[in-house]
């Protein structure tokens, strides 16, 4: 008994959980005696729990649960023929006992196979593989850079900074664009009235070049429709415009 107490004093910090503790207590006995005495086992188990409490460590409910099963088993062993024992309680205890046994066996089994798998992993671990594949972002190829020296690079940078830092200037843009459709309507009205007119007369009232362009586009469109006839005798000479014979009413694509 004293020897046994010594055993678990040594092992207190080593076991992991109540099943592990039970297994260690059982195997420590198997080295010495053939059959494990349940009574001794329970005493030792409870002694370890007391030790844990003395060390102010947490005694989990799992420890307590297994302890209660062990105590009941021990009590039953010490009082083999208890008259009028509750049959339900009796069966419950046997069930609990078998469950504990099964858990112990499962625990031993997995501990054993875990050692084998650990060994295999150690062996496989001697082989190493690359952990990154081909699909990481590639840096730009160095040979796509043109030959360049420091001075040229500085000049390019200066140019770039100048153009990109300046606010875009919109003053040269005249966004008040004249309507080609309006110009077409005006032309149709006036060309019908005048027998023949010069293009410069037709745009004489305009103030901006862009309006002349609108009238020119309108003229081309009307000529295409066959509403007006436009003739030009030579390069840069006056365009003569007159109304065509047939007046078609086609919707303009400029509208």
Partner 1 sequence: MSDIELARVIEAILFVAEEPVSREQLAEVLEIGVDDVDRSMGTLRASLDERGSGLVVRETAGGWRLYTRPETRPFLESFAVSASSARLSNAAMEVLSIIAYQQPVSKGQITEIRGVDSGSAVRTLERRGLIQERERLSTPGNPALYETSRLFLEKVGINSLDELPPLADHVPPSTVVESLEESFRSE
Note whether 241 and 228 are within 8 A (CB). Answer: yes
Q: How far is the CB of 24 from partner 1 (least distance, A)?
A: 12
Residue 115 interacts with partner 1 (CB under 8 A)?
A: yes
Q: Which is nearer to partner 1, 112 or 171 (CB)?
A: 112
Q: b or e along 147-184 (b: 16 or more beta carbons within 10 Å of the residue's beta carbon)?
A: eeeeeeeeeeeeeeeeeeeeeeeeeeeeeeebebeebb
Residue 4 interacts with partner 1 (CB under 8 A)?
A: no
Residue 202 interacts with partner 1 (CB under 8 A)?
A: no
Q: How far is the CB of 103 from partner 1 (least distance, A)?
A: 7
Q: Which is nearer to partner 1, 106 or 177 (CB)?
A: 106
Residue 222, burial from CB neighbour count under 10 angstroms (0-12, 13-18, 19+)? buried
User: With contacts defined by CB under 8 A, how many residues of the chain interact with partner 1?
Assistant: 53
Separation of alpha carbons 217 and 130, rounded Å? 68
Residue 1 interacts with partner 1 (CB under 8 A)?
A: no
User: Token match 């024992």: residue?
Assistant: 85
Binding site for partner 1 (CB under 8 A): 16-20, 26, 30, 34-38, 41, 60, 62, 66, 73, 77, 80, 97, 100-101, 103-118, 120-134
């Amino acid at each position: 008994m004293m020897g046994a107490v010594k055993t678990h004093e040594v092992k207190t910090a080593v076991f992991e959980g109540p099943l592990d503790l039970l297994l260690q207590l059982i195997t420590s006995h198997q080295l010495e005696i053939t059959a494990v005495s349940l009574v001794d086992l329970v005493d030792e188990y409870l002694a370890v729990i007391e030790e844990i409490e003395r060390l102010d460590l947490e005694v989990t409910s799992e420890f307590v649960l297994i302890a209660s099963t062990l105590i009941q088993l021990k009590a039953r062993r010490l009082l083999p023929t208890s008259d009028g024992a509750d049959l339900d309680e009796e069966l419950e205890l046997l069930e609990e006992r078998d469950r504990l046994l099964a858990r112990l066996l499962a625990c031993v089994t997995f501990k054993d196979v875990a050692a084998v798998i650990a060994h295999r992993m150690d062996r496989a671990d001697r082989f190493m593989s690359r952990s990154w594949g081909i699909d990481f972002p590639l840096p730009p190829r160095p040979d796509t850079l043109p030959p360049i020296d420091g001075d040229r690079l500085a000049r390019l940078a200066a140019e770039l900074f100048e153009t990109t830092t300046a606010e875009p200037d919109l003053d040269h843009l005249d966004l008040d664009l004249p309507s080609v459709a309006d110009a077409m309507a005006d032309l149709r009205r006036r060309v019908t009235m005048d027998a023949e007119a010069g293009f410069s007369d037709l745009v004489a009232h305009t103030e901006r070049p862009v309006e002349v362009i609108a009238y020119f586009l309108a003229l081309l469109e009307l000529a295409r429709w066959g509403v007006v006839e436009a003739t030009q005798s030579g390069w840069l000479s006056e365009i003569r415009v007159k109304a065509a014979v047939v007046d078609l009413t086609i919707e303009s694509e400029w509208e």
